[in-house]
Amino acid sequence: MSPSIIIDTCVFISALRSRNGASYKLLSLIDESKFNFYVSVPLVLEYEAVAKRMSRTLGLTHQDIDDVIDYLCSVGKHRKVHFLWRPNLKDPSDDFVLELAVESESKYIVTHNIKDFRGAKKFKTQVITPQEFLRIIGALS
């Protein structure tokens, strides 16, 4: 059975920023059935808002960003969060990511901000970096 994950916005932005890192590699594997990737409306809206705010520094047009997000929405599994677990995290703006992980029964939240998700342990969700996740699925080259 493939592990289920939530990809935090910082990983999404990191993948857009560079094709050399683990974040880009993770996103490039999204449709290869190595893992299940979950999204929600709030998460997609955050991906879009942050990426478009940074579009110039990313070297992407708004249309480029829309295309990437459309692709992620087409391959991701959509979940609606029915129960809010707030507040649980140090930064309340990260609670919706944890709530999606709980709702989707995802085993992992993949992020560069491990410390921001300390409250995830009580929900049996592991918080790991893209590199750690790639190692788990045997995709680290």
This prediction's pTM? 0.91
**What are the distances in angstroms from CA 91 to CA 23, 51, 98, 114, 118?**
22, 20, 11, 12, 10
Confidence band (pLDDT; 50, 70, 90) for 127? very high
Q: Bridge-partner residues for 126, per DSSP?
A: 108
DSSP 93-121: GGHHHHHHHHHHT-SEEE-S-GGGGGGGG
- Structure confidence at residue 33 (pLDDT): 87
- Phi-psi domain of 138 (left: phi exceeds 0; alpha: psi -120 through 50; beta: other): left
Indicate the domain borders of the chain. 4-136
Q: How far apart are CA 124 and CA 138, in angstroms?
A: 22
DSSP 122-136: GGT-EEE-HHHHHHH
For 89-94, what is the mean pLDDT?
62
Cβ neighbours for 130, distance < 8 A, ≥ 6 positions apart: 11, 14, 21, 22, 23, 25, 26, 110, 112
Render pLDDT for 21-75 as a digit per residue (tens, 0 to 9): 999 999 999 998 899 999 999 999 999 999 999 999 999 999 999 999 999 999 9
Element (H, E) at 51: helix 41-53
- Structure confidence at residue 116 (pLDDT): 82
Q: Bridge-partner residues for 36, per DSSP?
A: 4
Architecture of domain 4-136: 3-Layer(aba) Sandwich (3.40)
